[in-house]
Amino acid sequence: MPFALELSQLSKAYGRARAVDGVSCRVAGGEAVALLGPNGAGKTTLLKLCSTLLRPTSGALRIAGFDAVDEGSEVRRRVALLGHDAYLYPDLSAVENLTFYARLYRIAAAARRVDEIVDRLALRGFAHRPVRTFSRGMLQRCALARVLLQQPTVLLLDEPFTGLDLEARANLHAALAQLHRDGTTLVMTTHDLDEALRLCSSALVLRRGRLLWQGTLAGDTPFDLRRHYAELLATAPTDRRP
Partner 1 sequence: MKTKTSLTDTLLPPVTILVMGAAMYMALVGAPNDADQGPVQRIFYVHMAMWLATFSAFGLVGLASLLYLVKKTEVWDRVGRAGAELGLLFCTLGLATGSIWAKPIWGTWWTWDPRLTLTLVLWMIYAAYLLLRNLVNDPQQGASLAAILGVSGVADLYLINRAVYWWRGIHPAVVVNKEGGTGLHDPAMRAALILSLLAFFLLFTWLLRLRLQSARLQGDVDRMRDRLAPGY
Partner 2 sequence: MLTLIWKDLLIELRTKETVASLLLLGLLLLVVLSFAFDPTSPLRKEAAPGVLWVAIIFAGTSGINRSLLREREQSCLQGLLLAPVDRGTIYLAKTIANLLFMLAALCVLVPLFIFFFNLPFVTTIVRLLPVLLLAVTGFSAIGTLFAAVSLQTRAREVMLPLLMLPLSTPLFLGAVEASAALLAGDPLGAVAHWLQLIAVFDLVFLVVGWLTFEYAVVD
Query: In the complex, which residues of this chain contact partner 1 (CB under 8 A)?
Result: 13-17, 40, 57, 208, 239, 241
Return the residue of 22, 25, 29, 92 that touches partner 2, per CB under 8 A: 92
Q: Provide the terminal-to-terminal Cα distance of the chain, rounded to the nearest Å.
A: 37
Residue 73 within binding range of partner 2, rule CB under 8 A: yes
What are the residues facing 32 on neighbouring strands?
186
Residue 101 within binding range of partner 2, rule CB under 8 A: yes
The span from the CA of 212 to the CA of 24, in Å, is: 11
Q: Give the H/E segment covering residue 157.
A: strand 154-158
Nearer residue to partner 2 within complex by CB, 48 or 210: 48
For residue 182, count CB atoms less than 10 angstroms from its CB and return exposed for 0-12, middle for 13-18, buried for 19 or more.
Answer: exposed
Alpha-carbon distance values, 82 to 71, 154, 229 (Å): 21, 11, 25
> Least CB distance from residue 67 to partner 1, whole Å?
16
Q: Which does 105 bind (CB under 5 to 8 A by kind): partner 1, partner 2, none?
A: partner 2
Return the residue of 7, 86, 138, 157 that touches partner 2, per CB under 8 A: 86
Nearer residue to partner 2 within complex by CB, 17 or 170: 17
Return the residue of 89, 124, 174, 216 that touches partner 2, per CB under 8 A: 89
Residue 39 within binding range of partner 2, rule CB under 8 A: no
Nearer residue to partner 1 within complex by CB, 13 or 60: 13
The span from the CA of 62 to the CA of 50, in Å, is: 8
